[in-house]
């Protein structure tokens, strides 16, 4: 008997249950219903709530009139923070007027040399000021991970109240979960040395969220 059969056999004996259809039935009905646990009260203003929570978790937040204004806002931010005026972006953002704002932006996945990575987001969660990223050919995961500065351009319409709402949106719009769903809440951090929080561990040192209506 292999390890799998031994482990499952021990569990079966311990619970003294027969392999009947009843349990499988309960399991499939729970999966189909996927009921929610107790939820936080829904905020009146999703965008304001998202902003406040994101700032609390050390993200920077800027608001643009529309997507066309994003490059100019980003250029000012990078300049003020004395950061490089070039980076990489997701293909969906390649058409924004980066050059006109004085930025050099390449549409490709990030490598270790890239200092600024600009992404979109699948949606965002007001409860914790969190971005939800789905991996895919057009949404490489490295762009939000390898560069020291991660910039996410987010349509305020895509802010939902809770992570449960975000899962529902994913169930509605995608056939199945992508290889990686990454929830991002601010810059990477560690408190391993003397429990002192330090921003910028192995991921980005800073996260800039630009809210821009599509």
57-96 positions binding other proteins, by CB under 8 A: 57
Report, in Å, the least distance between residue 151 CB and other proteins: 16
DSSP 71-112: HHHHHHHHHHTT--SEEEE-GGGTTS-TGGGT-EEEES---T
**Which residue lies nearer to other proteins by CB, 70 or 126?**
126
Strands in 25-64 per DSSP E: 60-63
Structure tokens belonging to residue 21: 């259809």
Report, in Å, the least distance between residue 152 CB and other proteins: 14
Rg (CA), the chain: 21
d(CA 187, CA 204): 5
Site for other proteins in 188-207 (CB under 8 A): 188-196, 198, 200-204
Report, in Å, the least distance between residue 61 CB and other proteins: 16
DSSP 6-23: HHHHHHHHHHT----HHH
**Which residue lies nearer to other proteins by CB, 80 or 179?**
179
Which residue among 38, 44, 172, 175 contacts other proteins (CB under 8 A)? Answer: 38
Q: Which residue has the tokens 């004395």?
A: 82
Site for other proteins in 107-126 (CB under 8 A): 109, 112
Which residue among 51, 53, 158, 206 contacts other proteins (CB under 8 A)? Answer: 53
Give the binding range for other proteins (CB under 8 A) out of 61-69, 97-105, 151-159, 161-169. Answer: 161-169
Which residue among 40, 48, 92, 100 contacts other proteins (CB under 8 A)? Answer: 40
- Using CB under 8 A as the binding rule, whether residue 35 contacts other proteins is answered as yes
**Which residue lies nearer to other proteins by CB, 39 or 94?**
39
Report, in Å, the least distance between residue 165 CB and other proteins: 10
- Please, how many CA atoms are within 13 Å of residue 45, restricted to the half-sphere of its CB? 6
What separation in angstroms does the CA of 140 have from each of 29, 86, 110, 177, 214? 35, 18, 8, 15, 21
């Amino acid at each position: 008997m292999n390890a799998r059969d031994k482990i499952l056999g021990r569990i079966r004996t311990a619970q003294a249950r027969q392999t009947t259809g009843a349990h499988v039935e309960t399991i499939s009905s729970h999966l189909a219903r996927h009921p929610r646990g107790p939820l936080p009260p829904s905020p009146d203003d999703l965008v304001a709530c998202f902003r406040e929570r994101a700032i609390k978790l050390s993200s920077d937040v800027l608001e643009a009139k529309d997507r066309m204004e994003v490059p100019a806002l980003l250029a000012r931010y990078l300049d003020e923070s004395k950061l490089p005026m070039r980076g990489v972006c997701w293909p969906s953002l390649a058409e924004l007027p980066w050059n006109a704002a004085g930025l050099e932006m390449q549409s490709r996945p990030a490598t270790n040399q890239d200092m600024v990575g600009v992404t979109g987001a699948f949606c965002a969660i007001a409860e914790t000021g969190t971005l939800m990223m789905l991996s895919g050919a057009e949404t490489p995961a490295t762009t939000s991970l390898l560069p020291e500065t991660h910039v996410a351009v987010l349509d305020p319409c895509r802010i939902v109240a809770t992570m449960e709402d975000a899962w529902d949106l994913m169930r509605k719009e995608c056939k199945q979960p992508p290889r990686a769903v990454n929830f991002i809440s601010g810059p990477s951090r560690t408190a391993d040395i003397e429990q002192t929080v330090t921003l910028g561990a192995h991921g980005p040192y800073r996260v800039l969220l630009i809210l821009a209506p599509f």
